[in-house]
Structure 1
Amino acid sequence: MKTYNIFISHAWKYSEHYHKVVQWLNEAQDEGQFKWKNYSVPEHDPLIDPNTTYGKKKLKEELEGQIKPTSIVIILSGMYAAYSEWIDFEIDTAVSCEKYIIGVKPWGQERIPKKVSDNADVMVGWNKNPIVNAVLESNKGE
């Protein structure tokens, strides 16, 4: 059974979306579809203030360290408007490291941020099966 190393974009304010994707990937693992390792860390160190120059630099270093060892990056595009600077950084890092990018459309939303759609290898709907299928079809497991 293949194991997939996955980073899921996340924002602390939208952690329920992150946790839902984790739940779906865990269910797929429990069903024997694949194994996966989560390289995301949705809760940040409260001592790092991303609104300061040092804090922003430190957070970017941490995000880069989370993305580099993965094979797949899942971008939750529904958070884009509020967190475009960070999601842009995650996308740019994933592209520069040649990661397979799965873009996830927000539930009930037709418009997708151009940055996400232009860089995603595949765009899928907000549902378990499309996300799980995109992971399996990526052929990025080990």
Structure 2
Amino acid sequence: MVKTRNLFISHSWDFGDAYERLCGLLSEASYFQFKNYSVPRDDPIHDAPNQQLLRAAIKRQMSPCHVVVIIAGVYATYSKWINEEIALAQHGFRHPKPILAVQPWASERTSAVVRQAAGRVVGWNTNSIVQGIRTLSP
């Protein structure tokens, strides 16, 4: 029986194509099941009237997750909300959520902020990503 991993995949909609490709890799992985708790583009969370309500909504999405997966492009260093999601994963719950950093395909640089927060950093390939998730959520 394959364990279903609950994942929060942190991303910027400005780079939504990378998010979509990552979800595709995970969906096609053999002997791997996951439930995606990420915030979809059309989710009303985006229309929260203030940052406190948006943060609380993201925390609710992240709550049941085994692993927070972050695409670690350099843009992540400068994204306020990705940094908020890192802070939530590390300090927003009784037990911190492990963070998996995924280096973007063909990227020469990776976000130092994400790399330092991550329990594991993997390359952009299905086996590495799945193994990283399994390692962080046995």
Fold shared per TM-score above 0.5: yes
Q: How high is the TM-score relative to the length of structure 2? A: 0.84
Aligned-pair CA distance for 1:68: 1.4
CA-atom RMSD in angstroms: 1.9
Given that 2:39 and 2:45 are in contact with CA atoms closer than 8 Å, whether structure 1 keeps it comes out as: no
Q: Deviations over 1:44-67 (max 9, x none)?
A: 438716xxxx43222211111111
Corresponding position: 1:80 with 2:76: yes
Can you give the 5+ residue segments of structure 1 that lack an aligned partner in the other structure?
none
Structure 1 partner of 2:62: 67
Given the alignment, which residue of 115, 134, 137 partners 1:136?
134
Given the alignment, which residue of 89, 105, 108 partners 1:94?
89
The 1:47–1:126 alpha-carbon spacing in structure 2 relative to 1, beyond 3 Å, is: closer
Given that 1:77 and 1:113 are in contact with CA atoms closer than 8 Å, whether structure 2 keeps it comes out as: yes
* Identity across matched positions, percent: 35
Q: Secondary structure at the match of 1:109?
A: coil
Match for 1:114: what amino acid? A
- Mapped to 1, the partners of 2:10 and 2:106 lie a distance apart of 19
How does 1:15-54 map onto structure 2 within 5 Å? 15-28=16-29, 31=30, 33-43=31-41, 44-45=43-44, 48=47, 54=49
Given that 1:74 and 1:104 are in contact with CA atoms closer than 8 Å, whether structure 2 keeps it comes out as: yes
The 1:48–1:117 alpha-carbon spacing in structure 2 relative to 1, beyond 3 Å, is: same
Can you give the 5+ residue segments of structure 2 that lack an aligned partner in the other structure?
none
Given that 1:10 and 1:42 are in contact with CA atoms closer than 8 Å, whether structure 2 keeps it comes out as: no
- Mapped to 1, the partners of 2:78 and 2:18 lie a distance apart of 14
Aligned residues: 132
Given that 1:15 and 1:42 are in contact with CA atoms closer than 8 Å, whether structure 2 keeps it comes out as: no
